[in-house]
Amino acid sequence: MDIVQIVTLGIVASILYIILKEINSSMAFFVILITGIIIFFSVIQQISSIFQLIQSLGTKANVEGMYMDTILKIIGIAYIAELGAGITKDAGLGSVAAKIELAGKIFILLLAVPIISAVIEAIIRFLPTT
């Protein structure tokens, strides 16, 4: 699916949502939910090719595999948390969306700890000892 089709789908779904919201709000939410899922699955293939490109660039730059895997996981968590938060915001559940965003940030921080530790250790090695 290319960007024109995705945008068209989004516009049609938005119009349907506006129309259905007055008639049946739960059905309107399902239209938005299904639209989000369709768009997510349509871009999964592109995301996969981007991940492969980043992985190959990391290999060429002699970056340890663990670091590249961690970076890719962090990117994945960010996108999934944003998608979940967006869907719950659309449902009118801003507080749940905030909790999803918080959970995503915590998971990202947990994954980033080894990278942060490695950076700090590298900095310490460069500092003169007294």
Can you list the alpha helix ranges (DSSP code H) found in the chain? 3-23, 25-60, 65-90, 94-126
What does pTM read for this prediction? 0.69
Residue 3: the pLDDT is 87
Q: What angle do CA 45, 59, 78 make, to 5 degrees?
A: 45
Q: What is the mean pLDDT of each run of 10 residues along the chain (130 residues)?
A: 88 91 87 88 81 80 77 88 88 91 95 88 82
Q: What type of residue sits at position 63?
A: V
